């Protein structure tokens, strides 16, 4: 389960294959994510931050909170900021197909034992959202206080 006040890369492997919008499924999907703040007992204080394809889940770095180059949303995530971690539990996951820890072309294809590379299936925004939804379900999150993100993350 989630650890409060932790900003470290964490991983969740989905318990079943992920169906893809264009057909087929990925048999093994791992989602990389980071969290900040404390999850309330009712699990209703979650802000889910989504990023563009070029980003990763390292949206905030509490060790250097005023350095926007250390983490791409440092000015927005933390105590007293727009996404106040004294009030909200912030989750940011890497997108499916990305290169920062979530299953993508560099991941090992369980059928071949080698990286997917060009054999990685074509995925859609719907597939990315399905993987993120599966992560939230696994973490026991049924309701979000807010969702934020720019570019494809905002979709």
Tell me if 134 sits within 8 A of 33, measured CB to CB.
Answer: no
Per-residue model confidence as pLDDT tens digits over 86-116: 999 999 999 899 888 899 999 999 999 999 9
Residue 97 maps to which CATH number? 3.40.50.1820
- Output DSSP code: residue 35: E
pLDDT of residue 4: 44
**Predicted TM-score (pTM) above 0.85:** yes
Where does the pLDDT of residue 5 fall: very low under 50, low under 70, confident under 90, or very high at 90 and above? very low
Tell me if 112 sits within 8 A of 105, measured CB to CB.
Answer: no
Domain count, the chain: 1
Per-residue model confidence as pLDDT tens digits over 26-84: 999 999 999 999 999 999 999 999 876 556 788 888 888 787 777 878 889 999 999 99
Residue spans of alpha helices (H) in the chain: 125-138
Sign of CA dihedral 44, 155, 130, 107: negative
- Output DSSP code: residue 22: T
- Find the domain containing 45 and state its range: 1-155
pLDDT of residue 151: 67
Q: How many helices (H) and strands (E) does the chain have?
A: 1, 7
């Amino acid at each position: 389960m989630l650890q409060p006040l932790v900003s470290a890369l964490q991983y969740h492997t989905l318990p079943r294959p992920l169906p893809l919008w264009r057909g087929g499924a990925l048999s093994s999907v791992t989602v990389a994510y980071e969290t900040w703040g404390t999850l309330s007992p009712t699990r209703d204080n979650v802000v889910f931050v989504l990023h563009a394809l070029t980003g990763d889940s390292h949206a905030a770095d509490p060790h250097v909170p005023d350095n926007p180059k250390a983490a791409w949303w440092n000015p927005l995530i933390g105590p007293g900021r727009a996404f106040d971690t004294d009030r909200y539990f912030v989750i940011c996951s890497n997108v499916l197909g990305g290169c920062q820890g979530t299953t993508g072309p560099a991941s090992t294809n369980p059928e071949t034992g080698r990286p997917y590379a060009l054999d990685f299936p074509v995925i859609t925004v719907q597939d990315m959202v399905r993987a993120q939804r599966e992560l939230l379900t696994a973490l026991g999150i049924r309701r979000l206080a807010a969702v934020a993100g720019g570019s494809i993350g905002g979709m």
